[in-house]
Amino acid sequence: MLANNLANSTTGGFKTDREFYGLFSANADPSIEGEPSPTQLPVIQKQWTDFSQGTLQPTGSPLDLGLSGKGFFTVTGPSGPLYTRNGGFQLSKDGVLETAEGYPVITVEGGKIQTSTQTPIQVAADGTVQQDGQTLGQVAVVDFQDRSVLDKLGNNYFSNSNPKVGPTPVSDTTVQQARIEASNVAPAESAVRLVGLMRQFEMLQKAITLTSDMDNKALTEVARVGAG
């Protein structure tokens, strides 16, 4: 998880993953004299996604859109709607606004943004797209009351794992043109945690090796006593 976060520290719209800890309880050995007390150790139960806002970076491209606030862009994926914070869009050969993977951007009405000329588009703060004074549609920006239903698909997309929990439009989020949201991964933090994890792994590996050596030595000493 940490390695994946670090690898996507420069991926637009990427949301970092973090771990959720619980307590593992193990009863003490009843053969030991005295009142046994349970042993509790932290254990990773699952991971969760941090949806905090990333920095909006200017790109100079009129096709790049960034969200300031909560919500996701809606695009048409291979198996249904997908949701993303990565607004690095492009135009297809037919003039359709789509993602780098070729997924069309969905409007509030459920249609597509279709351009007809090479004139640059203008995008308002509410997501309304205009070209040559004509309105082409309004980019749909939605959110979920329970974001735990969102499953990561690739590095930039989310799919809804529970059809009973549908997306709802958001009204307090602004769309900023010629900007793209950067990853919310803190590279320094992820690197430090990854190094610490590797050192902990090496320490446990040495402990296992030491225990194995002690067992082998004990067996050797027992064999010597028996032979004598």
20/37 same-domain check: yes
pLDDT over 70 at 41, yes or no? no
Residue 131, pLDDT score? 95
Residue 18, pLDDT score? 87
122/190 same-domain check: no
Q: Give the domain extent around 202.
A: 2-49+186-227
Domain-terminating residue out of 144, 160, 181: 181
84/138 same-domain check: yes
- Number of domains comprising the chain: 2
Q: Residue range 200-224: average pLDDT?
A: 76
Sequence-distant (6+) residues with CB within 8 A of 29 are 36
79/174 same-domain check: yes
37/68 same-domain check: no
Q: pLDDT, tens digit, for every residue of 47-86?
A: 889 999 999 999 999 999 999 999 999 999 999 999 999 9
192/222 same-domain check: yes
Q: pLDDT, tens digit, for every residue of 123-178?
A: 999 999 999 999 999 999 999 999 999 999 988 999 999 989 999 999 899 999 99
62/86 same-domain check: yes
101/138 same-domain check: yes
Residue 189, pLDDT score? 82
Of 160, 170, 162, whose CA–CA distance to 138 is shortest?
A: 170
Looking only at the bridges linking them, the beta strands covering 179-181 and 174-177 are: unpaired
65/171 same-domain check: yes
Residue 203, pLDDT score? 83
Q: How does residue 227 score in pLDDT terms, banded at 50, 70 and 90?
A: low
- The answer to whether 142 touches 169, Cβ cutoff 8 Å, is yes
176/196 same-domain check: no
89/174 same-domain check: yes
Q: Could you tell me where the beta strands, DSSP code E, fall in the chain?
A: 17-26, 39-49, 56-58, 65-68, 72-77, 80-84, 90-91, 97-98, 122-123, 128-131, 134-138, 141-143, 150-153, 157-160, 168-169, 174-177, 179-181
Of 98, 79, 67, whose CA–CA distance to 163 is shortest?
A: 79
69/176 same-domain check: yes
Cα–Cα distance between 58 and 25 in angstroms, integer?
Answer: 50
C-alpha Rg value of the chain to the nearest Å? 27
Domain-terminating residue out of 143, 162, 181: 181
Q: pLDDT, tens digit, for every residue of 15-36?
A: 998 887 666 666 655 555 555 5
